[in-house]
Structure 1
Amino acid sequence: MVSRPVIVIAGLACETSTFTPSRTLAPAFHPRRGKEVIDEYAFLHPRTPLGDAAEWHGALIGHALPGGMVMRDAFEEWAGEIVGRLRDVLAKTAVHGLWFDIHGAMCVEGLDDAEVELLRRIRAVMGPNVIVSASCDLHGNVSKDLAHELDLLTCYRTAPHEDELETKERACRNLLDLLHRSCGVAWEPVRPFKAWIPVPILLPGEQTSTRIEPAKSLYDTVPEVEAEPGVIDAAIWVGYPWADEPRNRGAVVVTGWDEATVAAGAERLAKRFWDSHQDFKFVAPTGSFAKCIDTALASPLHPFFISDSGDNPTAGGSGDVTWGLMKLLARPEFQDSAGPRVIYASVPGPQAVQKMVQAGVGATVTVTAGAEVDHIHAGPITMTGRVYAIKHGDKDAVIEAVLQVGSVFAILTQLRKPYHHERDFTDLNLNPRGTDIVIVKIGYLEPELFDIAADWLLALTPGGVDQDIKRLGHRRIHRPMWPFDTTFPEPPDLTARMIPSSNKPLLPGPDP
């Protein structure tokens, strides 16, 4: 009898825009191996319920900052190492389960469904009897093939993603529960029913935030379905709109032991999703960049946050579009150091940062930054200002330097970095709470910034993750698709597709 099942952890994650010229290379994944993988997740540590319930082996996980297309050689390098490490584990012990730690929106050069390709390579090594459970971002994409290759799958239920670790722990707990069902006198895998429904909706996360309706009520329905007798898990993916692959769209998956209940639960969620398709709105008031600045200047509320959303690096933007900073510095209100105090985060400029480091804090320098990757929307920006602060050793930016130009404090970085936390600013001797306007390359405000902001606006700015998704030029997504199409010849088919177990063939046919 198998007393403690053996579970391996592997996966690659990168939210990938195909509309940005940047490319994601192998080092961006910052891989963790072996014990490093276990150390990453406190719920798997020894003397925790999950940690002690199984024998966990870390193969390799790699989580890259969202960005442009993953280069094929990078994928092959890490996929090859994952397969090699799985072979090493299998040479020492039988393996019963795999936690597939992914995002769900990784685009790889020359591949259409990268997570499926990786999982097929893993299954080719581990065999058909290993049970696989995946955790995903709700902005991922679930194709029919991915639903087939997996035995269990779940995703976040909040956006912003305050339940990331909770979701990953749920994926592992569901896997362990399923393995315990399978551990008899001999190892005999037991697999649940899976209902998959594609939903012809593809919207930015900024229009599907669970902070507001209708997404709030939609996702409140998920645990209700999950609580039905015979259901293991229920999940809704809103999809990822800044990539152009056939799998990009909304999806619902429900898993469980009672086929009728599983199918009914999936159809309930899919109908609720579709019935709301015209109600999704931006999570905050929107406007042009100029209008947002005008509003912030006129407001008595400070700090006033503005999202420079088109180049958001945590949605896949290159991060080095200079358009917003150029427009900001051209405003007469900020020409003098006594003007309204503004923080702008951020623009990469490795040579500019090095020049500022050499000059030192307090020096006046002229530097050029940005547009090394994405020069479609604006060219490099040249600025003269005072070096206000320098910080070394950031895990993403490596070196950060603040240049004061008039009353604007522009953060320049050696490598691109998202600014989500108060300490990201205070570590640079900047006080966002005491600043008039804070402009961040972001979509919806992450929780800490949301709590700090006295008010905020979402600026509809250009970039690789443009919020006006209709002007990006999708060619390969399924049509009709809301909001690209506002009329449908007939209502979408929201009946449950029962996906066979991973050890049974998927019947050929279109992925509608």
Structure 2
Amino acid sequence: MSAHGTDGVRRPVIAIAGLAIETSTFTPTRTLAPAFHPDRGDEVVARHPFLAAYEHAAEFRGALTGHALPGGVVARPAYEELADEVVARLREIGPVDGLWYDVHGAMVVEGLDDAETDLLARIRAVVGPDTIVSASMDLHGNVTRELAHQLDLVTCYRTAPHEDVDATRERAVRNLVDVLTTRPVEHRRPVKAWVPIPVLLPGEQTSTRVEPAASLYAQVAEVEAADGVLDAALWVGYAWADQPRDRAVTVVTGWDTDAVVAGAERLARAFWDAREDFAFVAPTGTFDECITAALEPGAARPFFVSDSGDNPTAGGSGDMTWGLTQVLAQPAFAAPDGPTLIYASVPGPAAVAEAVAAGVGATVTVTAGAEVDDVHAGPITMTGRVHAVRHGDRDAGTEVVLQVGSVFAVLTTLRKPYHHEHDFTDLDLAPREADVVVVKIGYLEPELFDMAADWMLALTPGGVDQDLLRLGHHRIERPLFPYDREFATPPDLSARIVPPSDEPLGATP
């Protein structure tokens, strides 16, 4: 089961596997297997340069990992196809000492409420009960008691926006390598304290840039630093899936039961006590209010507006035309010499193909959007000048910029998030010089945040509507804040000790 290094020392073998997507059950799209852009075998290892720092201590073998852009529910045949390949590749790898489980935590599959646990059960059936499994997750994931049981080690991001993705993955691997190389076989599974917290909030109200989340996540490191604690993790949960597992959770692992329990309960109480203090990360308003503010004399430039309801990186379809329709209806942008506004983006394969055929500088009339998500607005028809064309983007395929009046609308073959300055400059756009930049996003990602002289969060409709009550959840476990403001009895925030993965879970306490 172990490999020999050049020095003759036996090294543990660690496999890498996982499927990751953040899934909105309120988005009408379906996610298919190619969307995960799977890496296989050596590709998996090569994707994570930090693994080189641990190659002296362990041998890493990639099975299959896939990371899809957030979106709609994963079609069951797509999941079965990928899960079967994960299992087959793990069989080919053979016996392993450990497994790094690289997942998000909010994947929804047709017919499965807890897909991460289902996939791990299939993996466990191959790698066996003795394999130590360490998971890295997004803090917007969901951790059921069943998932905590199947895992031995688990950690999640500590920043939102997520600026510690690689650091979190490395922490999961480092913990796994340390356990496999420093602890006797019979003492490799730490104590796991799990506390569900009856709170469900959108990420835009729980950003670690602002309070109270900034202070809450500062406590995670403090808990982890306690003697006898290996790792501490706090999940906000994922708000746009209508499932019983949706809620905040904390899991603390370590070797001292008292310290682990105390840490988990401290984080859970702190989160619960702060529930009324969470607020949006930026000033909010209706779309019209945000555009009006952006056009006020003296408003800082560039002024960014988040069209949050159709944010593709939170699970929105990215296909809605509602926001662009509202922009083009504004008289201020009707003439080419009006305030410059960039809008990113709306998919429209046929529109893109027509613009490409016409060429840069040509005037075209095209129709785009709402091919799958037409709940709030139908396809939009525009006449404008082709400003730019770009081929070969990993997410978008081909991108086109159409100038309509003073609006520069980005159209794509496939949906794409716009998070980086080069996403715009590659299209011959100058976001820093624009008056207004409207992006389908929630909180601004770091590069956009740095570019924005000012910004507002528009509370727009869509599959990731920030107004959770307006969405209409039916399957969440109640009582749950903010759906319920009054609780008949205080929530049970005591730590549940989850049995090791090689022992039966037993009934829910």
TM-score by length of 2: 0.97
* Alpha-carbon separation, structure 2, partners of 1:182 and 1:117: 29
The DSSP-based 3-state class of the residue aligned with 1:119 is helix
Gaps of 5+ in 2: 3-9
Gaps of 5+ in 1: none
Q: 1:226 aligns with which of 224, 227, 231?
A: 224
Asked if 1:418 is matched to 2:422, the reply is no
Q: Which residue of 1 aligns with 2:307?
A: 308
Per the TM alignment, residue 446 of structure 1 is displaced from its structure 2 partner at its CA by 0.1
Q: Which residue of 2 aligns with 1:43?
A: 50
Q: Which residue of 2 aligns with 1:398?
A: 397
* Alpha-carbon separation, structure 2, partners of 1:18 and 1:340: 37
Contact 1:182 1:190 in 2 (8 A): yes
Contact 1:288 1:459 in 2 (8 A): yes
* Alpha-carbon separation, structure 1, partners of 2:231 and 2:477: 27
Q: Which residue of 2 aligns with 1:133?
A: 134
The DSSP-based 3-state class of the residue aligned with 1:38 is helix
The DSSP-based 3-state class of the residue aligned with 2:55 is helix
Deviations 1:433-474 (A, max 9, x none): 000000000000000000000000000001000000111111
Per the TM alignment, residue 300 of structure 1 is displaced from its structure 2 partner at its CA by 2.7
> 1:362-511 residue pairs with structure 2 within 5 A?
362-509=361-508
Asked if 1:59 is matched to 2:66, the reply is no
Equivalent residues, number: 501
* Alpha-carbon separation, structure 2, partners of 1:189 and 1:373: 52
Per the TM alignment, residue 65 of structure 1 is displaced from its structure 2 partner at its CA by 0.3
Q: Which residue of 2 aligns with 1:168?
A: 169
Deviations 1:88-143 (A, max 9, x none): 011xxx31000000000000000010000000000011110000000000000000
Per the TM alignment, residue 181 of structure 1 is displaced from its structure 2 partner at its CA by 3.3
Per the TM alignment, residue 182 of structure 1 is displaced from its structure 2 partner at its CA by 4.1
Q: Which residue of 2 aligns with 1:13?
A: 20
* Alpha-carbon separation, structure 1, partners of 2:334 and 2:55: 57
The DSSP-based 3-state class of the residue aligned with 1:412 is strand
* Alpha-carbon separation, structure 1, partners of 2:156 and 2:508: 26
* Alpha-carbon separation, structure 2, partners of 1:455 and 1:335: 24
Deviations 1:461-495 (A, max 9, x none): 01000000111111111101111111111111000
Q: 1:282 aligns with which of 274, 280, 283?
A: 280
Per the TM alignment, residue 508 of structure 1 is displaced from its structure 2 partner at its CA by 1.3
Contact 2:57 2:181 in 1 (8 A): no
* Alpha-carbon separation, structure 2, partners of 1:459 and 1:109: 31
* Alpha-carbon separation, structure 2, partners of 1:190 and 1:382: 61
Q: Which residue of 1 aligns with 2:155?
A: 154
> 1:158-307 residue pairs with structure 2 within 5 A?
158-182=159-183, 188=186, 190-298=188-296, 299-307=298-306
Per the TM alignment, residue 51 of structure 1 is displaced from its structure 2 partner at its CA by 2.6
Contact 1:353 1:413 in 2 (8 A): yes
> Which amino acid in structure 2 is aligned with residue 352 of structure 1?
A
The DSSP-based 3-state class of the residue aligned with 1:16 is coil
Q: 2:73 aligns with which of 66, 69, 76?
A: 69
Deviations 1:46-93 (A, max 9, x none): xx2x13210100000000000000000011001000000000011xxx
Q: Which residue of 2 aligns with 1:355?
A: 354
TM-score by length of 1: 0.97
Q: Which residue of 2 aligns with 1:142?
A: 143
Deviations 1:298-348 (A, max 9, x none): 043100000000000000000010000001000000000000000000000
The DSSP-based 3-state class of the residue aligned with 2:494 is coil
Contact 1:289 1:459 in 2 (8 A): yes
Moved over 4 A (4+): none
The DSSP-based 3-state class of the residue aligned with 1:17 is coil
* Alpha-carbon separation, structure 2, partners of 1:239 and 1:270: 13
Per the TM alignment, residue 188 of structure 1 is displaced from its structure 2 partner at its CA by 4.5
CA RMSD of aligned residues (A): 1.0
Deviations 1:358-408 (A, max 9, x none): 000000000000000101111000000000000001000010000000000
> Which amino acid in structure 2 is aligned with residue 398 of structure 1?
G
Contact 2:104 2:137 in 1 (8 A): yes
Contact 1:43 1:51 in 2 (8 A): no
* Alpha-carbon separation, structure 2, partners of 1:52 and 1:359: 56
